Chain A
C-alpha cells in the first residue's frame, strides 16, 4: 500500500527479496566463515536433527513471546510454563506409562492450562502483565520444584517417550502444524481479527464490545501450548528436566526470543510475520550451528548476540518505516504514558 506505483510483479519480487534476504545472507556469510575455518555447520548425521529442533524451539518461543508482546504484554513466565508443563506430563507418563505422543499431548494440555491460568491471573488482578507474569514465573518455578520434591526428572532408558525429538520428519510436522495453526488462528480466524483490532486499538475495540478478557486468556493459553511443546522438545531431546530453576532461573528463555522476534517482525513486513518468525528462527539456528562448529566460547556468543540485537534495534529505530513494526512500537509505548496512539487522532 505504501508504494502503489509499483507494479504487481515488482511488488512480489520485492516481497520475496525482503523475506529471504536475511536468512539467506546470514546463512551464506556463516557458511563462508565456517568454510574459511575449515569446518562445516552440518558436519554430521545429527546436525540436521539438531538444526530442525533448534529451529522448532526458537520459532515456538518467539511466537509465544510475540503473541503477547505485540499487544504490549510482557510475559516473564514463558520459561516456567515450558518447564512446569514438561515436569507434570513427564511425571504422569513415566509413572502411568505412555509413549512419546501421550507425553506430547499431555504437555500441550497442561501448557494450555498453565497459560490460561497465567492469563487468568492477569485479567483477574488487572495489573500490568510485567508484574503478574513475574509472580506467575515464581509460582510455576516453585511448583515444578515442589512436584518433583526437588529432583530432576530423568528419561534415561525411556526411548519410547523421546521418539519424536530424534526424528526430523516429526519435527518438521510440528513446525508446519504450529505455523499453519498460528497463521489460521491469528490471520484468518475471527479470534485473530479481534486480536488484531485489540492490539491496534484497544479502547475502540473494547468500546465496540469486543471481549478483551477472553481474547487475552486465549492468547496466554495458546502461548502456553507453544511453550509446552518447547518444554517437551527440550526435555525429551536431552533426557532430563532440570528443576533447578528457582529464583527466576527460567526467565532467560524470554530474553533469547527478542532478537528473532525483531528479525521476524522485520521480515513480516515483506510477507507474513509468522513466516518471519520461522525464517528468523532459521537465521538464529544458523548462528548456533556456527558457534558450535567453531567452538565459540559462551561468553563470546552472548556478546555477539547482544551486539546483533542492539545493531538490529538501532537499524529499526532509525529507519523511517519503523512505525510499521507493531512490536517495537508497543515496547516503546509500554513504559511511556499512553498518548492517543491507538486512535486516528492526528
Chain B
C-alpha cells in the first residue's frame, strides 16, 4: 500500500514540477500585464513585439529540440541561421522569387546540418565539438556571402509585405504542427526519445544511432531554414551580426521551457515555444522596469541569469543525485 502511495505522491510532484515552465510563462505574462498597466504601455505594440521577437527563436528552437532530445548539443544554430538568411537573401535579390528564396533558405540550412551530422556520424566525432568547428566555418561562409559583392550587407527590399505577425504565426503553427506530429505521433519521435534516454538500449533494440542523428539534424535544419527565411524578411538588411541573438538563446529558451538537457524520454517539443516566449516576455518586463536606469542592460542581464538558474533548479528538483552531475 505504502508503495502505491509514495508513487502517487511522487508522480503528483512530478506533474507539478513538469508544469513549472508553463506556470512560469503565465506568471511572467501576468507580471507583464500588471506592470504594463502601471507603466501605461502600448499593449498592442507590446504583444506584437513579443510575437515578432519570439517566433524566429521559437521555430529554430523547436527544430533543435530533435537534436537535444538525442542528448546532443548543437552550438552552430545561430551561425547556420545566418548562412541560411544570407543564401536566401542573395537568391531573392537575383530572382525576385519568394518561393525560391524560401527553398534556398531551407536547402542551405539543411546542407549545413547534414555536414555536421554526417561528419559526426561517419568519423564518429563528438557532436558538440563538431558543431563548434562548424560554427566557425559557417560564420566564415556567411562573411563571404555577405561581402562577396563588396559592401558589408545583403539588402533585401520588397518583402516588407511579409513582415507581419500573422505570417510569423502561420509559420510557427505549421512548423510546430509538423514537429509535434513527428515527435509525438510517429516512430521517428519515439525512437529519438529512446536514443536520448539510453543509446545502448536503443541500439540493442535495432535503432540506428546514425540514422536518427541525421534525421534529427534534418528536422533542425528545416527549422533553421524557416528561421533564416523569417530573419531575412524581418531584418531586410543582413550583416555579419544578424541572428547572433539566436545561437545561445536557443539553449536558454529550451531549458527555460522545461527541456531536460540530457534529452531522452522526458523531452518536450513545446519547451521551445514556452521558453522562447518566456525569455522574451521577461526581457520586455525588464526593459519596462529598467529602461531609465544607467547600466540597465547589465542589471537586466543579471536578473535574467538569476531567473534562469532559479527556473532550471525548480524544474529539475526531482532529479538530484548523490554524485555531482556532469
Contacts and interface: CB of A to CB of B under 8 A. Distances in A.
Chain A–chain B contact at Cβ < 8 A: yes
Interface of A: 71-73, 121-123, 125-132, 134-136, 138-139, 141-150, 202-203, 206, 212-213, 216, 243, 246-248, 251, 255, 258, 299-300, 302-303, 305-307, 309-310, 313-314, 317-318, 328, 330-332, 334-337, 339
Contact of B137 (A144, A306, A336, A339): A306
B269 interface: no
A131 B320 contact: no
B326 A337 contact: no
A76 B283 CA distance: 22
B247 A146 contact: no
Given A309-B129, A310-B119, A126 B320 contact: yes
A248 B130 contact: no
A203 B140 contact: no
A130 B72 CA distance: 12
A130 B297 contact: no
Given A138-B304, A139-B306, A310 B130 contact: yes
Contact of B312 (A127, A147, A313, A331): A127
Given A131-B312, A246-B297, A302-B139, A139 B305 contact: yes
B73 to A, nearest CB: 6
Interface stretch (B29-37, B175-183, B193-201): B193-201
A334 B326 contact: yes
A335 B127 contact: yes
B300 interface: yes
Secondary structure dominating the interface of B: helix
Contacts of B321: 126
A313 B262 contact: no
B123 A336 contact: no
Contact of B262 (A128, A243, A255, A307): A128
B128 A331 contact: yes
Interface string B248-273: 11011001000001111000000000
A335 B72 contact: yes
Contacts of B295: 145-146, 148-150
Contacts of B16: none
B144 interface: yes
Contacts of A134: 248, 251-252, 308
Interface string B54-69: 0000000000000000
Contacts of A147: 298
B200 A339 contact: yes
Contacts of B95: none
Given A139-B306, A299-B144, A306 B136 contact: yes
A314 B125 contact: yes
Given A125-B313, A126-B325, A246-B297, A313 B125 contact: yes
Contacts of B304: 138, 142
B100 interface: no
A282 B137 CA distance: 23
A303 B137 contact: yes
B129 A331 contact: yes
A310 B125 contact: yes
A183 to B, nearest CB: 24
A87 to B, nearest CB: 11
Contacts of A148: 295
Given A127-B313, A313-B123, A317-B123, A135 B139 contact: no
Contacts of B297: 145, 150, 246
Given A127-B313, A299-B143, A313-B129, A142 B301 contact: yes
A317 B308 contact: no
B274 to A, nearest CB: 17
Contacts of A318: 123-124
A44 to B, nearest CB: 29
Contacts of A339: 200
A140 B60 CA distance: 27
Contacts of A138: 301-302, 304-305, 308
Interface in B188-242: 197-200
A134 B297 CA distance: 17
Q: Which of B70, B130, B313 has the most CB of A within 10 A?
A: B313
Interface in B52-96: 70-73, 75
B133 interface: yes
A150 B324 contact: no
Contact of B248 (A248, A300, A332): A248
Given A246-B298, A248-B247, A328 B323 contact: no
Given A258-B129, A313-B129, A337 B262 contact: yes
A132 B313 CA distance: 9
Nearest to A259: B133
A328 B135 contact: no
B311 to A, nearest CB: 10
A339 B204 CA distance: 14
A299 B140 contact: yes
Nearest to B263: A335
B308 A302 contact: no
Nearest 10 CB-CB pairings of A with B = A145-B298, A142-B301, A146-B298, A72-B326, A138-B305, A142-B302, A306-B136, A139-B305, A299-B140, A135-B309
B199 A337 contact: yes
Interface string B265-308: 00000000000000000000000000000110111111011101
A337 B197 contact: yes
B140 A302 contact: yes
A132 B310 CA distance: 10
A145 B197 CA distance: 40
Contacts of B301: 138-139, 141-142, 145, 246-247
Contacts of B322: 206
Contacts of B200: 337, 339
A315 to B, nearest CB: 9
A40 B125 CA distance: 36
Contacts of B152: none
